[in-house]
A = this chain, B = another copy of it.
């Protein structure tokens, strides 16, 4: 056991063409730890620009790092301002009705939606690095806040506590976002895959649309649950309370909104038509109600809105409340969701305009804007896709468009709130539905099905989980499935048989290249994942099965070389190995010895070589001669041995189970 075999190179003719497999130069433990941590947490090397700079410049760079406005502010021009002004006014016209609608979705007083479009955009304009993001509340996070808080506190019975909990949740969401950014853990958001987000968004949009049936049908009482079964039961159990006035109004406005949207999509130049449509609807709807006194005929209206800017709310944060855990949980989940949407939106537009966004820095900006928001009567904000797209189309140049929007909202808050008294709720519902329908991206889902079935499964699970379970269930199921895929990739790695591509020294999968020819007597296997504890057992068994199958095949074919002699493992795609993996190699080596086979390693990478070297596997078990730089060299050496040394013919009988492995030794006669 563990004896080093005679090495295949006694003859110099083969040795000459051979390359040595190198062990990477050793590095002290702390340096290698530092490198690993740097690659994990600082892959983008944000401190690079600070290197070799004098102290004062470092301070200035640090300030610019945290507050990018100091960076681009000095280069700001009047041309930029003109563009930003137009974009800012456009998004303000969208922000006001959307803010009110989404606040209703979260069961919060409508005025909070306006507050949330005033302070957070100002904070983001200072700290954010995206030029296109328009800050505001979003439907999904609003729905989620409403659903999670309503479970414990009834907003109709105790609105004050409910609002305070919403602030507290916002505070914790901000704290989480900022901490993730400071701790450079931004990659957590990466675990929400594109497929998860497509399914989740579509599910949330479906749920939000269903919720709007309440507004469209003018219902007073409604379920707090978000799943489709409960909502439909709630709707159809009170058919006698449906109000046709409300329904007709809702359908008309919905039609109007969808029409403008369709038009703007066809002719992108007229983006402002769909951007202005919500505000137009609000104005038209309010006028209609005011003139016809429809509020007395089943059309619910917003009612009085307080005039004035955001009151401070730092003292309202309910840290001492018995519902603190609810607020923390809500904050964490909504914070992550909001973050994922904001980061994705920011990155998409940055890629479009070819500038760079530092995810971790963005997280700090989002976090600070929500922490400040929670102290100024705002609830959770992020960078919604729809509003940012309008901002982008309107030609915004910098985050100044957010400042313009904030000023517009400020003016509204100070002078115009009474105008919203007669705004019918049904118009708000129509605005939400029109916005949500765009989030159901069935084309993306079909693309997933065409390209990657597993991604489609993740997407559908997220959708079904959200629609039939709850928003959290959908999310957890989809993330768990996504992680399962990674774990399964490692737990069940592909092993493929390689063959020689004709007229080359290249060895590739015989499945992918049917022309590739296997080499008689030599089984070449490629392992295409790291060898970790999770797959060590599987790989051991799978390699055994490959050997069994190959021996069966050779016996059946009855060629000149009738027995398998060498097993070459191509380690080129093995990115890492742990102690279980090394044990696996040791066991495979022993098992091969017992069967009279030679194990040969080809092309181990630097991580693998480091570990093999430290564990003395090569010295004490494999033998240096049985490791090669390429598969081609390994096969050449095996072929050389195969044809110059005649092995004792195997007699077909299986080795006795209890047979000592010494039997396998002394098998070679020159």
Contact = CB atoms under 8 A, between A and B. Distances in A.
Interface of A: 19, 22-25, 29, 33, 39-40, 43-45, 187, 190-196, 347, 351, 353-355, 359, 447-448, 450-455, 482-483, 485-494, 496, 501, 504-506, 508-509, 511-514, 528-530, 532-538, 541-542, 545, 572-576, 578-580, 582-583, 587, 590-591, 594, 605-607, 609, 611, 614-615, 629-630, 655, 657-659, 661
A359 B580 contact: no
A25 B511 CA distance: 8
Given A193-B578, A490-B489, A579-B194, A451 B496 contact: no
Contacts of A486: 486-487, 490, 532, 534
A354 B594 CA distance: 8
A194 B506 contact: no
Contacts of A452: 578-579, 611, 614
Given A353-B657, A512-B22, A487 B496 contact: no
A23 B534 CA distance: 30
Contact of A576 (B191, B196, B489, B574): B489
Contacts of A657: 353-355
A441 to B, nearest CB: 13
A489 B193 contact: no
Contacts of A359: 537
Given A572-B573, A573-B528, A609 B512 contact: yes
Given A354-B594, A579-B448, A607 B494 contact: yes
7 contacts: A187-B492, A192-B533, A194-B579, A194-B580, A353-B658, A450-B614, A512-B609
B587 A351 contact: yes
Contact of A528 (B39, B496, B575, B655): B575
Contacts of A575: 489, 493-494, 528-529, 573
Among A505, A530, A574, chain B packs the most CB atoms within 10 A around the CB of A530
Given A455-B578, A579-B195, A629 B190 contact: no
Given A44-B545, A353-B657, A354-B659, 11 more contacts: A29-B453, A43-B542, A190-B491, A190-B533, A194-B580, A196-B533, A482-B533, A486-B486, A489-B575, A496-B606, A529-B575
Contacts of A489: 490, 530, 532, 575-576
Contacts of A541: 43-44
Nearest to A590: B351
A599 to B, nearest CB: 15
A579 B545 contact: no
Given A43-B545, A492-B43, A190 B534 contact: yes
Contacts of A530: 489, 529
Nearest to A483: B487
Contacts of A506: 19, 629-630
Given A452-B579, A455-B579, A512-B22, A194 B533 contact: yes
At the interface, is chain A mostly helix, strand, loop or mixed? helix
B606 A511 contact: yes
Contacts of A351: 587, 590-591
A574 B534 CA distance: 19
A243 to B, nearest CB: 44
B451 A545 contact: no
Given A491-B190, A545-B43, A629-B501, A605 B533 contact: no
Given A447-B579, A450-B614, A576-B489, A534 B193 contact: yes
Given A19-B501, A572-B572, A40 B492 contact: yes
B580 A193 contact: yes
Contact of A545 (B19, B45, B453, B614): B45
A186 to B, nearest CB: 9
Contacts of A187: 491-492, 534, 537-538
Contacts of A45: 545
A333 to B, nearest CB: 19
A194 B584 CA distance: 11
A536 B190 contact: yes
B606 A512 contact: yes
Contact of A583 (B29, B194, B537, B629): B194
Nearest to A536: B190
Contacts of A661: 354
Given A541-B43, A606-B509, A614-B450, A658 B193 contact: no
Nearest to A194: B580
Contact of A535 (B190, B615, B658): B190
Q: Which 3 A-B pairs have the closest CB atoms?
A: A193-B533, A512-B606, A573-B573
A488 B187 CA distance: 10
Contact of A195 (B494, B573, B578): B578
A190 B542 CA distance: 15
Nearest to A537: B190
B353 A511 contact: no
B451 A611 contact: yes
A191 B615 CA distance: 22
A611 B448 CA distance: 11
A611 B29 CA distance: 39
B488 A40 contact: yes
Contacts of A453: 29, 33
Contacts of A25: 514
Contacts of A482: 533-534
Contacts of A536: 190
A24 B192 CA distance: 30
Nearest to A530: B489
A452 B542 CA distance: 25
A486 B196 CA distance: 20
A605 B190 contact: no
Contacts of A535: 190
Nearest to A350: B657
A578 B351 CA distance: 20
A466 B44 CA distance: 38
Most chain B CB inside 10 Å of its own CB: which residue of A573, A609, A661: A573
